[in-house]
Amino acid sequence: MDATQQQALAAQLAKLRADYVARLPAELAALQALAGELQGAERDRACLEALHQRLHKLAGSGGTFGLAALSAAARALEQRAVAWLAGERDWMDATARRALAVELAGLGQWVGQTAGETVGTIAAPSSFIPAPNALRSAGKAIRVWVMEDDAALGEQLARQLESFNYRVQLFTRIDEAERAARSESPDMLIMDVMFEAEGRNATEALADFPALRALACPLLFITSADDFESRVRAARLGAVGYFLKPIDIPRLVNRMGQLVEQMSAPPQRVLVVDDDADLAAHLCLVLRAADMVAEVLREPETIMDELASFQPDLVLMDMHMPRYTGPELAGVIRQHDKWTGLPIVYLSAETDLERQIAAMRRGGDDFIIKPVSDAQLVAAVRGRVERARQLADQINKDSLTGLLKHASIKDVASKEISRARRTAKPVTLAMLDIDHFKSVNDTYGHAAGDLVISALATLLRQRLRQSDHLGRYGGEEFLVVLPECAGAAAQRLLDDIRQRFANLRFSYDGQNFSCTVSAGHATSCNAVLDDAVNEAVVVAGDADLLAAADAALYDAKRGGRNRVCAAVLESRQGEVPD
Amino acid sequence: MSTLQRVMYVEDEPDIQAVAKLALELVGGFTVKVYSSGEEALREAEAFAPELILLDVMMPGMDGPTTLQALRGLPSLATVPVAFMTAKVQPAEVAHYKTLGARDVIPKPFDPMTLASQVRAIWEA
Hey, what amino acid is at A238? Answer: G
Query: Pick from A9, A61, A236: which is nearest to B109 by CB?
Result: A61
- Non-local (6+) Cβ contacts of A485 within 8 A are A426, A427, A428, A468, A493, A523
Query: Pick from B22, B60, B110: which is nearest to A16 by CB?
Result: B22
Residue B79 domain-assigned?
Answer: yes
Closest CA to A348 of A275, A270, A288: A275
Asked whether residue A351 carries a pLDDT value surpassing 80, the answer given is no
Give chain A's mean pLDDT: 80
Each residue of A111-129: b (16+ CB within 10 Å) or e?
Answer: bbbbbbbebeebeebbebb
Closest CA to A296 of A318, A281, A313: A281
What one-character-per-residue DSSP string does B74-90 give? SGGGTTS-EEEEES---
CA gap A547, A520 in Å, rounded: 10
pLDDT number for residue A316:
93
Residue B40 domain-assigned?
Answer: yes
- A234 touches A242 (CB < 8 A): yes
Lowest mean pLDDT among A44-58, A417-431, A535-549: A535-549
Residues 67-86 on A with a CB inside 8 Å of B are 68, 71, 75, 78
| Section A146-171 average pLDDT | 87
pLDDT exceeding 90 applies to what percent of chain A? 19
pTM for the full model?
0.43
Q: Is cis: bond before A483, omega within 30 of 0? A: no
Residue B1 domain-assigned?
Answer: no
pLDDT number for residue B32:
95
Give tens-digit pLDDT for A439-491: 998 988 887 888 888 889 888 887 888 789 999 998 899 999 999 888 899 99
Asked whether residue A572 carries a pLDDT value surpassing 50, the answer given is no
Domain count across chain B? 1
- A299 touches A321 (CB < 8 A): no
Asked whether residue A266 carries a pLDDT value surpassing 90, the answer given is no
pLDDT number for residue A103:
80
Confidence class for position A407, pLDDT limits 50, 70, 90 = confident
- The partner residues of A470 in beta bridges, in order of sequence, read A480
| Section A321-335 average pLDDT | 87
Lowest mean pLDDT among A228-232, A468-472, A560-564: A228-232
Residue B53 domain-assigned?
Answer: yes
Confidence class for position A171, pLDDT limits 50, 70, 90 = very high
Asked whether residue A28 carries a pLDDT value surpassing 80, the answer given is yes
Residue B90 domain-assigned?
Answer: yes
Domain of B66, CATH number, reads 3.40.50.2300
Subunit contact A62:B109, Cβ cutoff 8 A = yes
A133-142, A253-262, A444-453: range with highest mean pLDDT: A444-453
Asked whether residue A168 carries a pLDDT value surpassing 90, the answer given is yes
Asked whether residue A90 carries a pLDDT value surpassing 90, the answer given is no
Q: What is the extent of the structural domain holding B29?
A: 6-124
CA gap A206, A59 in Å, rounded: 25
Contacts of A75 in chain B (CB under 8 A): 87
- Give the gap in angstroms from C-alpha A56 to the nearest C-alpha of chain B: 7
The CB-side HSE value for A329 (13 A sphere, CA atoms) comes to: 30
CA gap A152, A273 in Å, rounded: 59
Give tens-digit pLDDT for A374-389: 888 888 898 888 888 8
Q: Inter-axis angle of helices A326-334 and A303-310, to 10 degrees?
A: 60
Residue B98 domain-assigned?
Answer: yes
Subunit contact B15:A16, Cβ cutoff 8 A = yes
Contacts of B36 in chain A (CB under 8 A): none
Confidence class for position A529, pLDDT limits 50, 70, 90 = very low
Confidence class for position A577, pLDDT limits 50, 70, 90 = very low
Please give the interface size between A and B, counted as residue pairs whose CB atoms are below 8 Å apart: 64
Give tens-digit pLDDT for A177-203: 988 888 888 889 999 988 877 777 887
Residue B103 domain-assigned?
Answer: yes
**Which of A57, A78, A85 to mutate against chain B (most B CBs within 10 Å)?**
A57
* B90 in contact with chain A, both atoms CB, cutoff 8 A: no
Subunit contact A60:B26, Cβ cutoff 8 A = no
CA gap B31, B54 in Å, rounded: 13
Confidence class for position A1, pLDDT limits 50, 70, 90 = low
pLDDT number for residue A541:
61
Each residue of B41-61: b (16+ CB within 10 Å) or e?
Answer: bbeebeeeebbbbbbbbbbee
Give tens-digit pLDDT for A50-86: 888 888 888 888 888 878 888 888 888 888 888 888 8
pLDDT number for residue A469:
92
